[in-house]
Amino acid sequence: MATPKTKTAYMCSSCGYDSPKWLGKCPSCGEWNTFVEERVPARQTKGARGRLVKSTAPVRLSEIEVTSEQRMRMPSEELNRVLGGGLVAGSLTLIGGEPGIGKSTLLLQNILSIRNRRILYVSGEESASQLRLRADRLGKVSDNTFILCETALDAIFTHIENVKPELLVVDSIQTICSADIESAAGSVSQVRECAASLLRYAKESGVSVILVGHINKDGAIAGPKVLEHIVDTVLQFEGDRQYLYRILRTIKNRFGSTSEIGIYEMVARGLREVRNPSEMLLSDNRDEEMSGIAIGVTIEGARPFLVEVQALVSSAAYGTPQRAVTGFDQRRLNMLLAVLEKRARFKLGQKDVFLNMAGGLKIVDPAIDLAVVAAVMSSNFDLTIPRHTAFVGEVGLSGEIRTVTRMEQRVAEAAKLGFETIYIPTGNLKGVKDRFPIRIVEVGKVTDMFRSLFE
């Protein structure tokens, strides 16, 4: 019997769209130069089109019984917060992040602390001895955690039948390959087929599955975008490797909120949970007051915390003034400087401006605008902002200070950390100003804040 012929197709590495010929622009997602050549069989095997769940009979919506989701609590409370209370039974979770950011460390130190469940950790990148050395560094060794170094999907399912785990971890999905697909591991079709097979296993068995995924140079999870549609939860582990702090952020969650974040600190024995990020981001070792420093209250997810904004304004030594930014949008800084130049009549066009968000975080919350302009003008005039003063507000193009969301949470966080004064937009706390043990100053324009702060 002749073997079936294979044909060549082109698939978009961004969304998974396939085409019989190469295209410069994907008609599905609109991305350019994303088509890669894949070899696909002329006829797919029956195993590749298996059942998704055990029973697919239609059921009336009114007859479906609503039960509470069974969740597995993880040892890390920050991880539980991001997941919405723990891992849901039969769910498929994807954790993405840069190489070396700490994804494997986060998973290992959690699963090694679970004592009452059988866990299978499948590694396609590290050997068993490397994982044992990592576990020794973490100071945790578990008898109910099984390590499997394998990349063939069929062999992995064979070991799953023998071990019968209650939690499955695959590190990473880009290294797993299926015999039904002829392309190399990490290709679009391989990643999609392996993820779909693991999804079928999770739904049929009720076992929670965690996948580890790499990210590309653009910061997105490598592989087709359809991978994020297959899984139930997508978590992003991010942070600058030059700093000790890491943020676990929810991109998608079918069983909880997507507005939660978890914050960790990288230490010698793994990752330590940071319960109060405000204390982490504020400097307590300044013996003398310095200009160019303002404290802003931002919100990441659903958690308010305070961040130190540092600015340095100096005369341009060369012809073209410099604008250097760390942790903030440079285009937004240029807009704020233009507002100060046009609306507040401050001459900053011929001066260098350097801006830094302490702690290595990247802030996108527009409520930090008021702290940015306060720090810039403090450095420009070389005037010190009172140490226990915080700022919240979005600055508009006409120089007005616009209201922001969740103001009560922001003011409460500043008051809890002992701040004495906070500047907020006018009318942002109607009727509830007297509830907080902190002096609240309402300002409507940037010039009003400068008069109240520096005069």
pLDDT value for 351: 92
Nearest to 273 by CA among 281, 264, 282, 260: 264
Nearest to 442 by CA among 397, 411, 406: 411
- Paired tokens of 387: 């140490």
Q: How many Å apart are CA 433 and CA 441, to the nearest integer?
A: 10
pLDDT value for 66: 77
pLDDT value for 36: 80
Q: How many Å apart are CA 114 and CA 208, to the nearest integer?
A: 14
Nearest to 192 by CA among 6, 4, 5, 9: 9
pLDDT value for 350: 87
State pLDDT tens for residues 234-257.
Answer: 999 987 666 678 889 898 999 988
Nearest to 425 by CA among 409, 451, 439, 446: 446
pLDDT value for 13: 75
pLDDT value for 46: 45
Place of tokens 């260098």: 352
pTM confidence score: 0.78
Q: Residue type for 242, please?
A: Q
pLDDT value for 187: 79
Return contacts of 31-39, CB within 8 angstroms, 24+ apart: 35/10, 35/11, 36/10, 36/11, 36/187, 36/188, 37/8, 37/9, 37/10, 38/8, 38/9, 38/10, 38/11, 38/183, 38/187, 38/188, 38/189, 39/6, 39/7, 39/8, 39/9, 39/182, 39/183
Which portions of the chain are predicted below pLDDT 50? 1, 44-53
pLDDT value for 52: 40
